[in-house]
């Protein structure tokens, strides 16, 4: 029984069902018509009795008013829930996910994330994945609750949410936010909280060996983002909104060797087919409570203003039309993304020293549409610079004009990169290299590195999940003839074209324009900056933190750098050298600029470095040795003239480095990492195999934090 005193027990309901069927059949009504009968005589004073059947009157027309109790709509609710579970399972399959995969959920306690918990737990339970023997929690499922600590009651709410989610059989972890610079400013509160939340979610996933994170964004969120980006004059690719799946790459690189990979966390939004109303219904059908964040009602924030405006006009017709426009933008983006990846594989070569070569003859830019060529160039520049902000406006147009010029004769600095004609190509190829004078990536410089063995990693199954999701999505990518907005050059074009194609009605078109104009006024007056979740941390100088021997760093998010000294740290440790007469000589490592107490720092290569290599290769370093203040040896048999510092080993190393340097374009040399000691004196240039001491080993592998193309993403 459902708990209602007027609700029939199961046995009584079955007897009543059979009796009603006979009565309706006797009177010529359909056998199933009893679902619509009315029972006017049931009141608080009169409970159901079998003899009451004799007093039932057969209505003259069907359907009639229903009699409701907590379980009276059980059949309809079961149908709705079955449909929701079917949609959810289909979306999970589209992402390449299977119930046995280890999955994390971002949970706030609102109706969206509670509904996500309900559906995910049901999806795993239906597949009989089992539970943890010790705890009884569902296998491979973790709910992460981030306590931002921005409201006095947030801690109690987090504990309450944990208790509710735990009762669903989901293991929970509460993570408080640490705000080292104090509470974020009000104008950027939601953005800062979102950035912090995504960083924490990534870190907890890595610590728990989980590679998949589910987020509860739904179709109403997508509509809000559409209007928000309209007000910022985004193009068709931006109007495609949030990706169904994408990869997040943490600034914390967990690695034990230069061969380690940063696969990132696969972010999946399985609820994009559901509306906000669906979220409430799912919670209600499963008798789940939720919390409402009062800050979501504040008109100070752009998303809140848009949400409240949309509620006034979000009729069924308007909702379906705006989703149809978003879907058309997503089909355009999927087509453009696929074409760009094909162009990259055909015309772009990524060099081991951290720059790209674009073959203009293979690219044939004159026959590539503007929207595709713009995205193509942006992907390459974002990869080389590791600055993943959008390339817009005048910069975008400059790059488009530059790459359409054939043959290339000029150079251009844009979006953190330097572009010029490749030497010897006669302008048929372009070099794209990182500009060391540009602003460094707005990520935490990767100095928080690990001296011990690898502790955390993303499961290897992620590659297979991505491959399965990609194979599914490739079947859905439209042909060019079915892509509607390939010629779109503005948001205005998209709306007008949608109206012309009858995707938007006149009323919906006017409503969207009104929303756009209203939010644009707010944006211009308050100069708010809203964006997709990005990790935004303090800018740090690349020389602020030392790199200890044996540790790793991700220099400017581009090169994975490490170094160490071989042998012991005793004073008697020596380096093997040869003089010009090939007689063996030995001297202590303390005579080098490298010793076992050295903490290296990493910077970009400068002109003085290769000038120094040139002198070193010719043994012309007397002045440099004096500047380096090399301490004299203690024992008489080890006292050497300071010019002996330029040993055969170092001279050969410098010669080899210069030879390697000649194969690297001058424009690309300036973005190579260089190791120096605390006084700024050169220790090693790993990319060209130079080292000051034979006992020193160093390497710098070009391994950008975010891969070419920004990682896996699907817009379906």
Looking at the domain assignment, is residue 597 inside a domain?
Answer: yes
Q: What pLDDT score does 327 carry?
A: 96
Residue 430 makes CB contacts below 8 A (sequence gap 6+) with 357, 358, 360, 403, 408, 419, 420, 421, 422
- DSSP alpha helix (H) spans, 405-458: none
Q: Output DSSP code: residue 637.
A: G
Nearest to 243 by CA among 279, 272, 283, 216: 272
Looking at the domain assignment, is residue 78 inside a domain?
Answer: no
CA pair distance 581, 575, nearest whole angstrom: 18
Q: Which of 72, 89, 123 is the last residue before a domain boundary?
A: 72
Using alpha carbons, list the distances in angstroms from residue 248 to 143, 215, 263, 269, 578: 18, 12, 9, 13, 51
Looking at the domain assignment, is residue 446 inside a domain?
Answer: no
Q: What pLDDT score does 544 carry?
A: 56
Can the peptide bond before residue 546 be classed as cis, meaning omega within 30 degrees of 0?
no
CA pair distance 494, 513, nearest whole angstrom: 12
Can the peptide bond before residue 407 be classed as cis, meaning omega within 30 degrees of 0?
yes
Residue with tokens 């950027």: 188
Looking at the domain assignment, is residue 290 inside a domain?
Answer: no
Using alpha carbons, list the distances in angstroms from residue 285 to 84, 219, 296, 484, 625: 11, 20, 24, 39, 79
How many beta carbons lie within 10 A of that of residue 383, not counting itself? 24
- Cα angle 85, 88, 93; round to 5: 125
Token couple for 697? 């080993």
Question: Strand (E) positions, 4-119?
Answer: 103-107
DSSP helix/strand/coil, 447: coil
223 within 8 A of 322, measured Cβ to Cβ: yes
274 within 8 A of 87, measured Cβ to Cβ: yes
357 within 8 A of 431, measured Cβ to Cβ: yes
DSSP helix/strand/coil, 103: strand
Full strand arrangement of the beta sheet holding 601-604: 601-604, 673-676, 682-685, 690-691
Which run of H or E residues covers position 194?
helix 189-207
| 690 phi and psi angles, rounded to 5 deg | -90, 135
Residue with tokens 């090939």: 582
Supply the DSSP string of 136-151, one letter for each residue.
-PBTTEEEEEEE---S
Token couple for 665? 């374009």
- Domains in the chain, number: 3
CA pair distance 499, 440, nearest whole angstrom: 43
CA pair distance 213, 707, nearest whole angstrom: 19
Looking at the domain assignment, is residue 125 inside a domain?
Answer: no
86 within 8 A of 265, measured Cβ to Cβ: no
Q: Looking at the DSSP assignment, which residues form a beta bridge with residue 673?
A: 604
Q: Is 383 left (phi over 0), alpha (psi -120 to 50) or beta?
A: alpha
Q: Are strands 141-147 and 103-107 parallel, antiparallel or unpaired?
A: parallel
Looking at the domain assignment, is residue 384 inside a domain?
Answer: yes
Q: What pLDDT score does 143 carry?
A: 98
Q: What pLDDT score does 189 carry?
A: 79
CA pair distance 294, 280, nearest whole angstrom: 17
Residue 459 makes CB contacts below 8 A (sequence gap 6+) with 102, 209, 210, 211
How many beta carbons lie within 10 A of that of residue 496, not counting itself? 15
633 within 8 A of 588, measured Cβ to Cβ: yes
Q: What pLDDT score does 392 carry?
A: 87
Q: Over the chain (716 residues), what is each successive 10-residue block's mean pLDDT?
A: 42 46 41 35 38 39 32 55 94 96 96 97 96 94 94 91 97 92 76 90 93 97 96 94 92 52 85 95 93 83 90 86 96 94 96 97 96 96 91 92 94 95 95 81 42 50 90 81 92 96 96 92 61 38 68 89 70 39 38 62 92 83 43 40 59 92 93 90 93 88 91 86
CA pair distance 290, 160, nearest whole angstrom: 10
What 413-421 contacts at long range (C-beta under 8 Å, 24+ apart), as own/partner pairs, is 413/438, 414/381, 415/378, 415/381, 415/382, 415/385, 415/387, 415/391, 416/381, 416/384, 416/385, 416/387, 416/441, 417/381, 417/384, 417/385, 418/667, 420/665, 420/667
96 within 8 A of 267, measured Cβ to Cβ: no
CA pair distance 612, 594, nearest whole angstrom: 17
Print burial letters for 497-529: b (CB count within 10 Å at least 16), e (below 16): bbbeeebbeeebbebbeebbeebeebbeeeebe
How many beta carbons lie within 10 A of that of residue 323, not counting itself? 19
How many beta carbons lie within 10 A of that of residue 154, not counting itself? 16
Q: What pLDDT score does 45 carry?
A: 39
Supply the DSSP string of 11-28, one letter for each residue.
HHHHHHHHHHHHHHHHTT
Q: Are strands 574-578 and 584-588 parallel, antiparallel or unpaired?
A: antiparallel
Residue 16 makes CB contacts below 8 A (sequence gap 6+) with 8, 48, 50, 53
Q: What pLDDT score does 137 carry?
A: 97
CA pair distance 212, 104, nearest whole angstrom: 6
Q: Which of 23, 57, 72 is the last residue before a domain boundary?
A: 72
Supply the DSSP string of 140-187, one letter for each residue.
TEEEEEEE---STTHHHHHHHHHHHHHHTT-EEEEEE---TT-SPPGG
Supply the DSSP string of 372-400, one letter for each residue.
HHHHHHHHHHHHHH---S---HHHHHHHH
Q: Output DSSP code: residue 597.
A: T
Looking at the domain assignment, is residue 431 inside a domain?
Answer: yes
DSSP helix/strand/coil, 51: helix
Looking at the domain assignment, is residue 594 inside a domain?
Answer: yes
126 within 8 A of 92, measured Cβ to Cβ: no
CA pair distance 430, 432, nearest whole angstrom: 6
Q: Which of 409, 439, 469 is the last residue before a domain boundary?
A: 439
Domain that holds residue 589: 567-694
- DSSP alpha helix (H) spans, 386-460: 393-404
CA pair distance 126, 106, nearest whole angstrom: 21
CA pair distance 445, 440, nearest whole angstrom: 9
Burial of residue 208 (CB within 10 Å: 0-12, 13-18, 19+) is: middle
């Amino acid at each position: 029984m459902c708990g209602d005193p007027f609700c029939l027990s199961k046995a009584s309901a079955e007897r009543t069902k059979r009796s009603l069927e006979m009565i309706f059949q006797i009177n010529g009504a359909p056998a199933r018509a009893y679902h619509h009968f009315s029972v006017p005589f049931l009141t608080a004073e009169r409970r159901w009795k079998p003899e009451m059947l004799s007093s039932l009157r057969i209505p003259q027309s069907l359907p009639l008013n229903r009699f409701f109790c907590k379980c009276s709509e059980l059949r309809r609710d079961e149908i709705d829930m079955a449909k929701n579970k079917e949609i959810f399972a289909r979306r999970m399959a589209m992402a390449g996910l299977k119930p046995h995969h280890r999955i994390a959920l971002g949970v706030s306690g609102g109706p969206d994330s509670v509904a996500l918990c309900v559906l995910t737990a049901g999806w795993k339970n239906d597949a009989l994945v089992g539970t943890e023997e010790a705890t009884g929690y569902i296998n491979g499922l973790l709910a992460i609750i981030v306590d931002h600590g921005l409201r006095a009651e947030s801690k109690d709410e987090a504990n309450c949410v944990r208790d509710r989610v735990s009762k669903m059989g989901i293991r929970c972890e509460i993570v408080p936010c640490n705000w080292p610079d104090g509470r974020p400013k009000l104008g950027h509160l939601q953005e800062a909280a979102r950035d912090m939340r995504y960083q924490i979610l990534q870190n907890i996933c890595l610590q728990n060996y989980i590679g998949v994170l589910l987020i509860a964004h739904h179709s109403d969120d997508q509509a809000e983002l559409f209007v928000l980006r309209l007000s910022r004059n985004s193009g068709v690719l931006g109007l495609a909104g949030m990706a169904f799946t994408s990869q997040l790459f943490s600034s914390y690189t967990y690695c034990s060797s230069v061969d380690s990979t940063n696969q990132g966390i696969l972010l999946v939004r399985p609820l994009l087919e559901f509306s906000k109303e669906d979220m409430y219904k799912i919670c209600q059908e499963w008798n789940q409570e939720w919390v409402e964040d009062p800050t979501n009602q504040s008109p100070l924030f752009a998303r809140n203003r848009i949400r409240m405006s949309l509620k006034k006009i979000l009729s069924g017709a308007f909702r379906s039309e705006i989703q149809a426009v978003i879907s058309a933008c997503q089909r355009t983006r999927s087509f453009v993304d696929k074409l760009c990846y094909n162009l990259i594989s055909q015309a772009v070569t990524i060099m081991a020293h951290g720059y790209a070569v674009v073959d203009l003859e293979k690219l044939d830019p004159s026959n590539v549409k503007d929207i595709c060529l713009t995205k193509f160039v942006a992907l390459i520049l974002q990869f080389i610079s590791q600055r993943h902000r959008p390339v817009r406006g005048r910069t975008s147009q400059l790059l488009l004009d530059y790459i359409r010029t054939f043959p290339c004769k000029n150079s251009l600095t844009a979006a953190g990169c330097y572009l010029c004609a490749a030497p010897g190509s006669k302008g048929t190829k372009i070099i794209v290299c990182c500009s060391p004078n540009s602003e460094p990536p707005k990520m935490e410089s990767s100095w928080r590195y690990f001296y011990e063995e690898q502790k955390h990693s993303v499961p290897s199954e992620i590659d297979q999940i991505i491959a399965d999701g990609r194979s599914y999505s490739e079947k859905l990518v439209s042909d060019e003839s079915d892509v509607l907005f390939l010629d779109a050059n503005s948001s205005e074009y998209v709306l007008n074209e949608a109206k012309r194609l009858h995707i938007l009605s006149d009323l919906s078109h006017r409503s969207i324009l009104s929303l756009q104009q209203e939010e644009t006024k707010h944006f211009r007056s308050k100069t708010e900056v809203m964006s997709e979740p990005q990790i935004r941390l303090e800018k740090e100088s690349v020389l602020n933190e030392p790199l200890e021997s044996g540790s790793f760093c991700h220099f400017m998010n581009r090169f994975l750098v490490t170094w160490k000294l071989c042998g012991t740290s005793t004073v008697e440790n020596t380096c093997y050298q040869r003089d010009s007469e090939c007689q063996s000589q030995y001297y202590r490592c303390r005579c080098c600029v490298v010793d076992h107490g050295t903490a290296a720092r990493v910077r970009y290569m400068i002109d003085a470095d290769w000038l120094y290599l040139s002198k070193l290769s010719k043994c012309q370093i007397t002045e440099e040795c004096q500047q380096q203040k090399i301490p004299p040896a203690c024992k008489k048999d080890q006292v050497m003239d300071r010019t002996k510092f330029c040993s055969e080993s170092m001279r050969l190393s410098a010669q080899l480095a210069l030879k390697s340097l000649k194969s690297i374009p001058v424009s690309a040399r300036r973005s190579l990492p260089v190791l120096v000691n605390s006084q700024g004196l050169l220790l090693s240039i790993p990319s060209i195999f130079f080292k000051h001491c034979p006992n020193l080993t160093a390497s710098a592998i070009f391994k950008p934090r975010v891969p070419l193309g920004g990682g896996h993403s699907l817009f379906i």
